[in-house]
Structure 1
Amino acid sequence: MTAIRFDDLELVEMTQAGSDMEVRANFPFSPAFPATTGLELAGGHTVVYFEIPPEKELGTHKDSPEELVLCLEGDGIEARVGDATGELAAGELVVIPAMEPHGFRNTGEETARFVGFFSDSTTVHEFEEDLEPVGERILKT
């Protein structure tokens, strides 16, 4: 059995110049991400853990497979999926169709924590602007 504690993960901070994007993330079940644990799920899925500080956001992007995002902690999370917007709080799950533009903004007072589950082991994330420190707008995990 392999157990991952999100609190023990080494997170990589990603930003975009000229925006409020600031997210700390790790893909604990992905062979391609720099801060990975090197573990892969037998079913060919990818898992991401990410945090968004207060008044910051995860910028609009598209992911190649469908994604399920579970909010672990936080309230006042503005979720954007396609043309729809809504509020997300701890304990709530949102389904994001493949290649649907989406993003999250933390309007609350505490760091919001999420876990996302992708339906494929190879995932392409396409952002509107370059990610730092990656230096590109496309991230493959």
Structure 2
Amino acid sequence: MNTSCALCDRARALHASSGWVLETSCWGVSPHPALQVPGWVAVQTLRHTEGLGTLNTAEAQTLGPVLSRVSAALARATDTKHIYTYSLGERVPHTHILMGPPGHGVRGREFLDRLLRRDQSLVDQPSADRTAADVAALLAGSDSAAPETHQ
């Protein structure tokens, strides 16, 4: 991990506190690091990489299955059919993909614009926390806590 990267620092802290929603040998999934929007997560490499072209073979081979699992868990936990996925790498040069459902009655470009502007009206910390716990339970294969519908 890079010592001067915000997402590397976040990965160290999440690993130390067992705070990942999902952790594999190459990828970590956590609630959106900048905006607590229900159902939005960041999928990031555990080692410092700067874009998809810098992934090693293991990271590249496991990315699709991780995105598929996370997308299915998000869709189930939020009771939605559409999970948006994007990666820009402009603010933080560390490979990460942001994923989540549309919300607040807004979809598509308008929703993503509000998300990118970090519109605080999208934030719902208690709902984001519950949804993250539901997603973690689904990813762990635990159906003991049936996820509620959050949007």
TM-score, L = length of structure 1:
0.32
Structure with greater helix percent: 2
Larger of the two Rg values belongs to structure = 2
TM-score, L = length of structure 2:
0.31
Structure with greater strand percent: 1
